[in-house]
């Protein structure tokens, strides 16, 4: 069986995980480090230690804001931002349930909204996101929603790109080569 | 010529070759080639039994040509030529096929590697049949040595050679010898005062009867070859007569122009006429033409200032009493002849201003390590008092390791000295102040004699070691206790948590990098450079101070980052290399020289122009060119240059090269 390390290395973004010297520049630079159960440097050490369950079920990588500070400063070209996204992809692919963060649900709503139309449909996406997470929280922001609506910032009908067929083909190909949905 | 009877030997080189090349198959293939009398494979051809095998075959099977398919000829061609010589054959009846560097090490597929090895062996066999007997020549070695660079490496090498009674020219581009070591405060791990151990050596080098010191000078041109180099050296105008200057310093007091002092890393000012530093050797002044008012005025035809020379007679102030100042001095180019050259041109410190997040040049009290050396030095700009920009003593200091080192954006290598000098700083800070010291490190590398013990000592003195490469240094406070401080943000990797440490001063432990003119120096002396930009030694383990150019040696930080003990050891090794050449008295020169076919020569003399060794002369009577065998190095420039195809190079004749190509292609 393939080790967790090999699995991460084979995922786009995870290639450079072996170059890490555990200097901590990534964690030091990370604006979200204090919210993470395992900060970036530690996640890399855990990947190398083969702690698959703990890593993929943790919320840490879902906190990544893609600010790329870690990637810009890393002395070894490890690209921790991309490792975080590779881990998100793996966690999703293998159906890991993640506690402590709503980010996966947000990604899910966004991707589903894009799927088939090529543009995000805000109203649909937000409704789905609150249904997946906490419908009551959705009600709490009715005022903002109403204001956006009256300013015509929330159209009732979503926009579409012209060639939705091309998009479907791209997504099909992506799944074929092992991308998660 | 007798029929060629060729012996072919395929080396396994352990698994280096045999792991990728089917050596038995290659040997079998070679046995079928024209002229081959015997073909064998063996585990280590360069070993004693391997060499004996060749000797035995030469005698018993009456071989008259030998091919060894093994490593690079740079490695073992001399070994096998010696075998042939000992067995009574001319050493030039030998050919080497490089099936290691050119084949097994660079080919993964076994079948392809074997096929390539066969082609290389066939090429060598085909060529060796055409090889001609040649004789190597002995040329005398000039007993003088040139040492380029007057840091500790150059001083050490020069002294060792001079003490043996041989002449040394020690060239230094700045106004004084001493180099970076003269700037340092204490030296790890013994805490000897750097100046105290260096100054005696500098003085000795300055006064040694066998050392001609050429400061404020640069090498301009190098020609010739091992044992017989000709070197042009430019002695830059220092506008001061060294024979008259007494180094009294009166002139510097009179000079009205102040500029940043290089020796003090710009933390203090010096005058336009100045002594490089207090213990300079020679202990004399020089004028910096770029800042001197009089010299700048001369360009627009004005006669300005000259206070240093004349003083101010109206106020009764006298200028230079010995008349040493000479504004008419011009650069002077001298030529010297030497047998060996030792290049010790040193390093430069990494400039941390490119690592924006550490704030060097933007935030006050963020210093480079060399600036800190000067600050902590009792002869430095603060008299050894560790002070902040506002004059207060710091309560806490952070030292950041690996700045510019171990980072693919700057230098991938470890600079080897930073861990130790950083810990030396920690010790000195504790000695001079009551400040808290934080060392931010990735790994502590304390590998030398007494170094780990020094690490323990600094730990026990209470220095706080924090494992984590800082992400940034900022002056933006997030908490009240961070107000007015520099905050080092990092991950304490041993706890696994992001932390912020407020400090008053940050010292950046900058790495060592090749000096900015390393490429130019390398070109001039024909030295190769490794990927990191440092000069490349001939062999990293077994020939660490030689270069690919015979007779030119390297030592010190121009070869790689290293500390003082290693530099001194390497410089002594380079001196030993030069002395070994001198004591042997002669060097052996390759037998391959150019020959001119006088029947074809039209006397155009183009060859004479392109020859880098001045080995070609023109016979005015016969109107043809001739090669002086003793001077010819066999480079082949004339062969390529001759428009009449009248020149051929022994051991590289058209016949031999075409045969080699034929062999490779069939």
Is the model's pLDDT at A1 over the cut of 90? no
DSSP string, B62-95: ---EEEEEES-HHHHHHHHHHHHHHTTS-TTSEE
How sure is the predictor about A135, in pLDDT bands with cuts at 50, 70 and 90?
Answer: confident
Q: Which position has the higher pLDDT, B40 or B1?
A: B40
Mean pLDDT, range B280-306, rounded to an integer? 94
Mean pLDDT, range B217-245, rounded to an integer? 95
Structural Rg of chain B based on CA atoms: 31
Please give the sequence-ordered ranges of beta strands (E in DSSP) within B128-272, or none if there are none.
Answer: 137-140, 145-148, 168-171, 186-187, 192-193, 211-214, 217-225, 228-235, 258-260, 269-271
In angstroms, the CA B113 to CA B18 distance is 10
pLDDT digits (tens, 9 = 90+) for B405-429: 999 999 999 999 999 999 999 999 9
Is the model's pLDDT at A142 over the cut of 80? yes
Domain A4-93: give its CATH architecture.
Orthogonal Bundle (1.10)
In the three-class reduction of DSSP (H, G, I as helix; E, B as strand; rest coil), residue B498 is classed as strand
CA A76 to chain centre: 23
DSSP B504: S
Of the candidates A88, A17, A13, the one whose C-alpha atom is nearest the C-alpha of residue A57 is A88
Is the model's pLDDT at A63 over the cut of 80? yes
Is the model's pLDDT at B578 over the cut of 70? yes
Report the CATH fold assignment for B348-513. FAD/NAD(P)-binding domain (3.50.50)
What confidence score (pLDDT) does residue B635 get?
87
**Number of other residues whose CB lies within 10 A of the CB of residue A96:** 17
How sure is the predictor about A137, in pLDDT bands with cuts at 50, 70 and 90?
Answer: confident
In angstroms, the CA B322 to CA B577 distance is 43
Q: Which residue of B has its CA nearest to A21?
A: B442
Is the model's pLDDT at A140 over the cut of 90? no
| Inter-CA distances, B117 with B235, B247, B539, Å | 54, 68, 25
Through-space distance between the first and last CA atoms of chain B, rounded to whole angstroms: 25
In angstroms, the CA A102 to CA A84 distance is 16
In angstroms, the CA B457 to CA B553 distance is 38
What confidence score (pLDDT) does residue B310 get?
92
In angstroms, the CA B202 to CA B204 distance is 5
pLDDT digits (tens, 9 = 90+) for B446-497: 999 999 999 999 999 999 999 999 999 999 999 999 999 999 999 999 999 9
What confidence score (pLDDT) does residue A157 get?
84
User: Could A21 and B496 be called an inter-chain contact, meaning their C-beta atoms sit closer than 8 Å?
Assistant: no
Give A77 to chain B, closest Cα distance, Å. 7
- Average pLDDT value over all residues in chain B: 95
Residues of chain A in contact with residue B407, where contact means CB-CB under 8 angstroms, are: 75-76
Of the candidates B448, B431, B500, the one whose C-alpha atom is nearest the C-alpha of residue B472 is B500
Q: Which of B402, B403, B469 to mutate to test the interface with A (most CBs of A within 10 A)?
A: B469
Q: Which of B359, B468, B491 to mutate to test the interface with A (most CBs of A within 10 A)?
A: B491
Structural Rg of chain A based on CA atoms: 19
What confidence score (pLDDT) does residue B447 get?
93
In the three-class reduction of DSSP (H, G, I as helix; E, B as strand; rest coil), residue A37 is classed as coil
What confidence score (pLDDT) does residue B527 get?
93
CA B242, B244, B246, B251 dihedral sign is negative
Give B103 to chain A, closest Cα distance, Å. 29
Q: Tell whether A77 is within 8 A of chain B (Cβ).
A: yes
**How many CB pairs below 8 Å do chains A and B form together?**
67
The contacts of residue B243 (CB under 8 Å, 6+ apart) are: none
Q: Which candidate from B357, B442, B489 shows the least CB-CB separation from A21? A: B442
Mean pLDDT, range A71-87, rounded to an integer? 95
In angstroms, the CA B659 to CA B655 distance is 6
Report whether B400 contacts B470 (CB < 8 A).
Answer: yes
In the three-class reduction of DSSP (H, G, I as helix; E, B as strand; rest coil), residue B229 is classed as strand
In angstroms, the CA A27 to CA A71 distance is 11
DSSP B662: H
What confidence score (pLDDT) does residue B187 get?
97
pLDDT digits (tens, 9 = 90+) for B46-80: 999 999 999 999 999 999 999 999 999 988 999 99
Q: Which of A23, A27, A77 to mutate to test the interface with B (most CBs of B within 10 A)?
A: A23
CA B501, B504, B507, B508 dihedral sign is positive
Q: Which of A24, A38, A46 to mutate to test the interface with B (most CBs of B within 10 A)?
A: A24
Is the model's pLDDT at B557 over the cut of 70? yes
Report whether B150 contacts B215 (CB < 8 A).
Answer: yes
Q: How many CA atoms lie within 13 A of B312 on its CB side?
A: 8
How sure is the predictor about A181, in pLDDT bands with cuts at 50, 70 and 90?
Answer: low
In angstroms, the CA B528 to CA B410 distance is 21
**Tokens 């009867």 belong to residue:** B209
**Number of other residues whose CB lies within 10 A of the CB of residue B224:** 20
What confidence score (pLDDT) does residue B196 get?
95
CA A86, A88, A92, A96 dihedral sign is positive
pLDDT digits (tens, 9 = 90+) for B201-230: 999 999 999 999 999 999 999 988 899 999
Mean pLDDT, range B232-240, rounded to an integer? 97
Is the model's pLDDT at A71 over the cut of 70? yes
Stated as kind and residue range, the H or E segment containing B10 is strand B6-11
Q: Which candidate from A39, A75, A76 shows the least CB-CB separation from B491? A: A39
Report whether B648 contacts B654 (CB < 8 A).
Answer: yes
Report whether B205 contacts B158 (CB < 8 A).
Answer: yes
Is the model's pLDDT at A90 over the cut of 70? yes
Q: Which two tokens stand for residue B349?
A: 């410190």
Q: Give me the helix-helix angle, A103-114 and A80-93, nearest 10°.
A: 80
Report domain extents, chain B.
6-136, 250-318, 348-513, 593-649
Give B409 to chain A, closest Cα distance, Å. 7
Give A73 to chain B, closest Cα distance, Å. 8
**Chain B residues with CB-CB distance to A under 8 A?**
357, 402, 406-409, 442-443, 467-472, 489-493, 496-498
Q: Tell whether A3 is within 8 A of chain B (Cβ).
A: no
Is the model's pLDDT at A117 over the cut of 90? no
Residues of chain A in contact with residue B406, where contact means CB-CB under 8 angstroms, are: 21, 75
Is the model's pLDDT at A57 over the cut of 90? yes
Residues of chain A in contact with residue B470, where contact means CB-CB under 8 angstroms, are: 25, 28
Give A29 to chain B, closest Cα distance, Å. 5
- CATH number listed for the domain at residues B593-649: 3.30.70.20
pLDDT digits (tens, 9 = 90+) for B94-149: 999 999 999 999 999 999 999 999 999 999 999 999 999 998 888 899 999 999 99
Report domain extents, chain A.
4-93, 103-176
In angstroms, the CA B582 to CA B578 distance is 6
In angstroms, the CA B88 to CA B91 distance is 9
How sure is the predictor about B393, in pLDDT bands with cuts at 50, 70 and 90?
Answer: very high
The contacts of residue B585 (CB under 8 Å, 6+ apart) are: B140, B141
Report whether B401 contacts B441 (CB < 8 A).
Answer: yes
In angstroms, the CA A161 to CA A170 distance is 14
Report the CATH fold assignment for B6-136. Rossmann fold (3.40.50)
**Number of other residues whose CB lies within 10 A of the CB of residue B149:** 29
pLDDT digits (tens, 9 = 90+) for B655-665: 999 999 999 99
Report whether B42 contacts B53 (CB < 8 A).
Answer: yes
What confidence score (pLDDT) does residue B348 get?
98
**Number of other residues whose CB lies within 10 A of the CB of residue B119:** 18
Report whether A81 contacts A51 (CB < 8 A).
Answer: no
| φ and ψ of B309, to 5 deg | -85, -45
What confidence score (pLDDT) does residue A98 get?
81
Q: Which candidate from A22, A29, A76 shows the least CB-CB separation from B493? A: A22
In angstroms, the CA B361 to CA B363 distance is 6
In angstroms, the CA B74 to CA B51 distance is 17
Percent of chain B whose pLDDT exceeds 90: 93
Mean pLDDT, range B34-38, rounded to an integer? 96
Of the candidates B6, B22, B3, B17, the one whose C-alpha atom is nearest the C-alpha of residue B46 is B17
User: Could A27 and B489 be called an inter-chain contact, meaning their C-beta atoms sit closer than 8 Å?
Assistant: no
Is the model's pLDDT at B199 over the cut of 80? yes
What confidence score (pLDDT) does residue B630 get?
75
What confidence score (pLDDT) does residue B622 get?
93
Report whether B435 contacts B396 (CB < 8 A).
Answer: yes
How sure is the predictor about B582, in pLDDT bands with cuts at 50, 70 and 90?
Answer: very high
In angstroms, the CA B533 to CA A84 distance is 35
Residues of chain B in contact with residue A73, where contact means CB-CB under 8 angstroms, are: 357, 471
Of the candidates A45, A80, A76, the one whose C-alpha atom is nearest the C-alpha of residue A66 is A80
Of the candidates B598, B600, B638, the one whose C-alpha atom is nearest the C-alpha of residue B616 is B638
Of the candidates B286, B176, B233, B173, the one whose C-alpha atom is nearest the C-alpha of residue B517 is B173
| Inter-CA distances, B252 with B282, B306, B383, Å | 16, 12, 20
Report whether B554 contacts B341 (CB < 8 A).
Answer: no
Of the candidates B539, B557, B531, B559, the one whose C-alpha atom is nearest the C-alpha of residue B411 is B531
Full-model pTM: 0.88
What confidence score (pLDDT) does residue B80 get?
97
Give A57 to chain B, closest Cα distance, Å. 19
What confidence score (pLDDT) does residue B506 get?
98
Mean pLDDT, range B584-598, rounded to an integer? 90
Percent of chain B whose pLDDT exceeds 70: 100
DSSP string, B546-560: B-SSTTEEE-GGGTS
State the Cα angle at B572 between B633 and B514, rounded to 5°: 75
Report whether B610 contacts B166 (CB < 8 A).
Answer: no
Mean pLDDT, range B345-369, rounded to an integer? 97
DSSP B4: P
In sequence order, what are the beta bridge partners of B624? B619
Report whether B527 contacts B547 (CB < 8 A).
Answer: yes
Give A72 to chain B, closest Cα distance, Å. 10
What confidence score (pLDDT) does residue A159 get?
86
């Amino acid at each position: 069986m393939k080790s967790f390390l090999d699995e991460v290395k084979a995922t786009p973004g995870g290639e450079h995980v072996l170059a890490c010297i555990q200097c901590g520049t990534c964690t030091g630079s990370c604006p979200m480090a204090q919210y993470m159960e395992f900060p970036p440097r530690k996640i890399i050490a855990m990947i190398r230690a083969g702690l698959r369950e703990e890593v993929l079920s943790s919320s840490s990588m879902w906190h990544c804001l893609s600010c790329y500070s870690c990637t810009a400063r890393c002395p070894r070209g490890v690209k921790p931002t991309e490792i975080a996204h590779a881990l998100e992809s793996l966690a999703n692919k293998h159906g890991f349930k993640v506690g402590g963060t709503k980010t996966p649900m947000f990604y899910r709503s966004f991707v589903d909204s894009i799927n088939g139309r090529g543009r995000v449909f805000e109203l649909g996406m937000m409704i789905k996101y609150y249904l997946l997470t906490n419908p009551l929280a959705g009600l709490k922001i009715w005022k903002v929603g109403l204001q956006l609506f009256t300013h015509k910032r929330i159209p009732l009908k979503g926009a579409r790109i012209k060639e939705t067929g091309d998009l479907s083909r791209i997504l099909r190909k992506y799944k074929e080569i092992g991308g998660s949905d | 010529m007798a029929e060629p009877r060729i012996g072919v030997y395929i080396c396994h080189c352990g698994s280096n070759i045999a792991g990728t090349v089917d050596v038995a198959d290659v040997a079998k293939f070679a046995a079928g080639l024209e002229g081959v009398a015997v073909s064998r494979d063996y585990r280590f051809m360069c070993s004693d039994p391997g060499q004996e095998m060749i000797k035995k075959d030469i005698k018993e099977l009456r071989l008259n040509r030998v091919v060894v398919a093994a490593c690079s000829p740079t490695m073992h061609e001399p070994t096998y030529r010696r075998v042939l010589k000992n067995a009574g054959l001319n050493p030039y009846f030998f050919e080497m096929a490089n099936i290691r560097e050119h084949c097994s090490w660079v080919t993964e597929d076994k079948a392809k590697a074997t096929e390539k090895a066969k082609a290389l062996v066939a090429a060598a066999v085909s060529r060796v049949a055409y090889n001609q007997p040649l004789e190597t020549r002995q040329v005398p070695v000039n007993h003088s040595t040139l040492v380029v660079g007057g840091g500790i490496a150059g001083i050490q090498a020069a002294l060792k050679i001079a003490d043996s009674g041989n002449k040394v020219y020690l060239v230094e581009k700045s106004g004084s010898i001493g180099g970076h070591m003269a700037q340092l405060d204490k030296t790890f791990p013994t805490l000897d005062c750097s100046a105290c151990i260096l100054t005696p050596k500098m003085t000795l080098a300055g006064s040694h009867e066998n050392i001609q010191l050429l400061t404020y000078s640069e090498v301009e041109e190098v020609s010739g070859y091992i044992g017989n180099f000709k070197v042009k050296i430019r002695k830059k105008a220092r506008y001061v007569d060294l024979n008259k200057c007494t180094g009294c310093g009166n002139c510097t007091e009179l000079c009205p122009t102040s500029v940043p002092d290089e020796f003090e890393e710009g933390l203090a000012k010096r005058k336009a006429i100045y002594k490089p530093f207090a213990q300079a050797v020679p202990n004399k002044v020089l004028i910096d033409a770029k800042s001197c008012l009089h010299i700048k005025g001369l360009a627009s035809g004005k006669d300005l200032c000259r206070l240093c020379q004349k003083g101010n007679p109206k106020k009764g102030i006298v200028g230079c009493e010995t008349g040493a100042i000479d504004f008419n001095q011009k650069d002077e180019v001298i030529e010297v002849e030497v047998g060996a050259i030792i290049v010790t041109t040193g390093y430069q410190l990494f400039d941390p201003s490119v690592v924006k997040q550490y704030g060097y040049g933007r935030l006050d009290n963020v210093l480079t390590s060399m600036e800190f050396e000067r600050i902590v030095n009792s002869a430095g700009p603060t008299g050894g008092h560790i002070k902040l920009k506002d004059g207060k003593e710091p309560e806490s200091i952070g030292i950041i390791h690996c700045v510019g080192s171990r980072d693919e954006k700057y230098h991938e290598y470890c600079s080897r000295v930073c861990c130790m000098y950083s810990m030396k700083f920690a010790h000195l800070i504790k000695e001079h102040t009551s400040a808290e010291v934080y060392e931010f490190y990735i790994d502590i590398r304390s590998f030398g004699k007494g170094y780990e013990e020094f690490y323990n000592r600094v730990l026990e003195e209470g220095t706080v070691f924090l494992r984590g490469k800082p992400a940034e240094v900022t002056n933006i406070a997030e908490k009240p206790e961070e107000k007015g401080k520099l905050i080092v943000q990092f991950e304490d990797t041993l706890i696994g948590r992001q932390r912020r440490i407020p400090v008053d001063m940050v010292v950046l432990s900058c790495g060592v990098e090749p000096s900015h003119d390393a490429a130019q120096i390398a070109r001039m002396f024909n030295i190769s450079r490794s990927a990191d930009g440092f000069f490349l030694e001939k062999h990293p383990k077994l020939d660490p101070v030689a270069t690919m150019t015979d007779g030119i040696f390297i030592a010190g930080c121009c070869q790689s980052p290293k500390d003082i003990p290693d530099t001194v050891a390497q410089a002594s090794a380079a001196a030993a290399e030069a002395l070994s050449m001198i004591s042997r008295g002669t060097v052996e020169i390759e037998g391959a020289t150019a020959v001119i076919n006088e029947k074809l020569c039209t006397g155009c003399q183009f060859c004479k122009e392109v020859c880098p060794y001045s080995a070609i002369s023109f016979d005015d009577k016969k109107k043809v060119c001739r090669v002086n065998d003793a001077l010819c190095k066999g480079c082949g420039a004339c062969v390529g240059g001759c428009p009449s195809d009248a020149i051929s190079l022994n051991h590289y004749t058209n016949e031999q090269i075409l045969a080699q190509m034929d062999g490779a292609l069939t």
